[in-house]
Amino acid sequence: MKGRGIVLIAGMFLASSLAAQPNSAPLSGNYLPQVLAASQAHRDSLTAMIKGQPGLPYWVRSLVRQPRYVALASQEIRVKDTPMQLFRACEARRCEASWLRALFSADGKRALLYISDDKLGIKIFGDPTPQELAFIARP
């Protein structure tokens, strides 16, 4: 009986310590369409940035509603020791000509966007710091 009691106590300790750990999703290996579909915070921050903005490529305007673009897996990056999630996407069949990089805080509530389009030029949204801009401005 003593052996079972020790195992039971050890199991309860393990379960309580696991429950106390934050349940955070990995920031790498995710795809923008799936993250936007699953996370209200990501959707809201991105939508607020691009809503009503003139001169956006059509595929960027419909990022949330109609994911008809090529998306690469996200990368976790650190900006001043703060973990962030970097996404890359481009217009299907025009990846060299029309692409974007989106950078989100780990909770998705802060978003930055860098859009490069050969016809519409470069657009930057979200007021990135110089360190953040260095990550999103790379082709």
Residue 24: pLDDT band (50, 70, 90) is low
Name the domain count of the chain: 1
Give the pLDDT of residue 18: 33
Instruction: Report the C-alpha gap between 137 and 102 in whole angstroms.
Output: 10
- The greatest distance separating any two alpha carbons of the chain, rounded to the nearest whole angstrom, comes to 76
At 118, which CATH number?
Answer: 3.40.1420.10
Domain containing 45 equals 25-136
- Residues 106-130 have pLDDT tens digits of 999 999 999 999 999 999 999 999 9
Q: Is 11 within a domain?
A: no
Q: Assess whether pLDDT exceeds 60 at residue 79.
A: yes
